[in-house]
């Protein structure tokens, strides 16, 4: 009995203590960002975190008269952690929006929390097509693998590449890349000799590269998540596949701007497709790259742009909703049209997915540095994964 009374008193005290706090908090809108700041996908976390800092420095911490607070949590790209952190951010911190999501399994683990709590979740990195279908509260600022894979498949068909082998990371975005590349090249008369996969965690490229060598395709198509490109390129060169006349084509995840400088000349001439290049020749992008590098001391990649644009979607959404979350914020995120450092962008109101230009690029050296130089584009591309 005494214990019970004691507990009740403690609970009442806690509530009392929370009341003025809750009031003070109503002047603050919180945004909860979950990123892999450590572990295998740390480069993605570092890029998005750098972009968020830049966005806040440029756009301030006040929206509709309220203070904005961005809370960044590290999930080490472990989906159980992502889910736990999302729950804490919603229940304890009362965030109006969730954001981040370095890999597809993290986004999938968080989707039910977004739905149940009616909290908009802005996916800034993960890129499996089906993510936006996992919750009506998900909005995507990154891209989709079907968008990237179809772009390079069409280029291959038009450029005399007949026989291909595919190599992808063995999970959601890899399955999308493999399927949409293979479907498109075969539709246009090309051939896929073999479909190879490597594990997301600690991949070993040696055995699959031997299989590629034996299959003797005209080209190898590769998708690997951001951060694995440099290790892959090194092995591709060490095993002499470039010398064996096997052309390398890829999604831009592999020729990641963040790692391109470390890849060396093996990357030269690699044709790939993606939605963002640090060399995109617009005034807005030049300013974005210069400001990002001045602040963070490294080159922004496509992950940084997903983070930057995701903040734009949240900020403009909150301006329209006057700081409210839930359905009001979600509605204000849908249908946004704006110029991104990547080019023109639309958040499709129906699918909540991103519509943008998909560029065909070639790795070239300029002023001693490697860049993805855009030379063609498929304009205003919707996610082919949604057009079933």
- Taking each helix axis from N to C end, the angle separating 229-238 and 206-215, rounded to the nearest 10 degrees, works out to 50
The angle at the Cα of 145, spanning 356 to 122, to the nearest 5 degrees, equals 65
**Residue with smallest beta-carbon separation from ligand VNL:** 225
281: its two tokens: 């020749």
Give the length of the chain.
388
Task: Select 140 or 190, whichever has its Cβ closest to ligand VNL.
Answer: 140
In what helix (H) or strand (E) does residue 373 lie, and over which residues does it extend? strand 369-381
Q: Which is nearer to ligand VNL, 147 or 164 (CB)?
A: 147
Among positions 137-176, residues that touch ligand VNL (CB under 6 A) are 172-173
Q: How would you class 66 by CB atoms within 10 Å of its CB: exposed for 0-12, middle for 13-18, buried for 19 or more? A: middle
- Minimal CA–CA distance to 257: which of 235, 280, 241? 280
Among 81, 117, 128, 135, binds ligand VNL (CB under 6 A): 128
Does the footprint of ligand VNL cover residue 41 (CB under 6 A)?
Answer: yes
Q: x/- contact string, 235-254, with ligand VNL (CB under 6 A)? A: ------------------x-
Q: Does 100 bind ligand VNL (CB under 6 A)?
A: no
Instruction: Kindly state the smallest distance separating residue 278's Cβ from ligand VNL, in Å.
Output: 15
Q: Is 171 left (phi over 0), alpha (psi -120 to 50) or beta?
A: beta
Q: Which stretch binds ligand VNL (CB under 6 A): 126-134, 203-211, 277-285, 315-323?
A: 126-134
Report in angstroms how near the CB of residue 335 gets to ligand VNL at its nearest: 24
Return d(Cα 28, Cα 269) in angstroms, integer: 49
Q: Is 126 in the site for ligand VNL (CB under 6 A)?
A: yes
Which residue in the set 104, 117, 141, 273 belongs to the binding site for ligand VNL (CB under 6 A)?
Answer: 104
Q: Contact between 127 and ligand VNL (CB under 6 A)? A: yes
Neighbours of 220 (CB within 10 A): 23
Return the number of the residue (124 or 318) whose C-beta is nearest ligand VNL.
124
By CB under 6 A, name the binding residues for ligand VNL: 41, 44, 102-104, 125-128, 172-173, 225-226, 253
């Amino acid at each position: 009995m005494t214990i019970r009374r004691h507990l009740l008193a403690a609970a009442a005290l806690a509530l009392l203590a929370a009341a003025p706090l809750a009031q003070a908090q109503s002047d603050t809108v919180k945004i909860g960002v979950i990123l892999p700041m450590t572990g295998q996908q740390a480069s993605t976390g570092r890029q998005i975190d750098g972009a968020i800092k830049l966005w806040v420095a440029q756009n301030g911490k006040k929206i509709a008269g309220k203070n904005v607070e961005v809370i960044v949590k590290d999930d080490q790209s472990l989906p159980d952690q992502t889910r736990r952190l999302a729950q804490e951010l919603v229940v304890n911190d009362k965030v109006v929006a969730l954001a981040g999501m370095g890999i597809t399994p993290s986004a999938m683990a968080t989707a039910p929390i977004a739905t149940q709590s009616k909290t908009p979740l802005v996916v800034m990195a993960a890129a499996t097509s089906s993510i936006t279908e996992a919750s009506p509260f998900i909005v995507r600022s990154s891209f989709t693998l079907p968008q990237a894979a179809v772009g390079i498949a069409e280029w291959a068909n038009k450029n005399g590449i007949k026989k291909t082998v595919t190599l992808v990371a063995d999970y959601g975005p890899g399955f999308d890349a493999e399927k949409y590349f293979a479907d498109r090249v075969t539709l246009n008369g090309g051939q896929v000799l073999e479909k190879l996969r490597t594990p997301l965690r600690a991949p070993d490229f040696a055995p699959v590269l031997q299989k590629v060598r034996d299959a003797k395709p005209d080209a190898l198509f590769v998708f690997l998540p951001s951060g694995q490109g440099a290790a892959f390129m090194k092995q591709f060169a060490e095993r002499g596949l470039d010398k064996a006349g096997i052309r390398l084509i890829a999604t831009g995840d592999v020729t990641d701007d963040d790692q391109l400088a470390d890849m060396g000349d093996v990357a030269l001439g690699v044709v790939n497709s993606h939605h963002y290049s640090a060399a995109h020749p617009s005034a807005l992008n030049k300013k974005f790259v210069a400001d990002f590098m001045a602040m963070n001391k490294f080159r922004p990649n496509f992950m940084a742009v997903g983070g930057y644009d995701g903040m734009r979607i949240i900020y403009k959404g909150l301006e329209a909703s006057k700081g409210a979350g839930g359905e009001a914020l979600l509605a204000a995120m849908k249908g946004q049209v704006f110029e991104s450092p990547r080019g023109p962008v639309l958040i499709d109101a129906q699918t909540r997915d991103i519509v943008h230009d998909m560029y065909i690029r070639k790795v070239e050296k300029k002023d001693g540095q490697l860049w993805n130089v855009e030379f063609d584009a498929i304009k205003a591309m919707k996610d082919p994964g949604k057009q079933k």
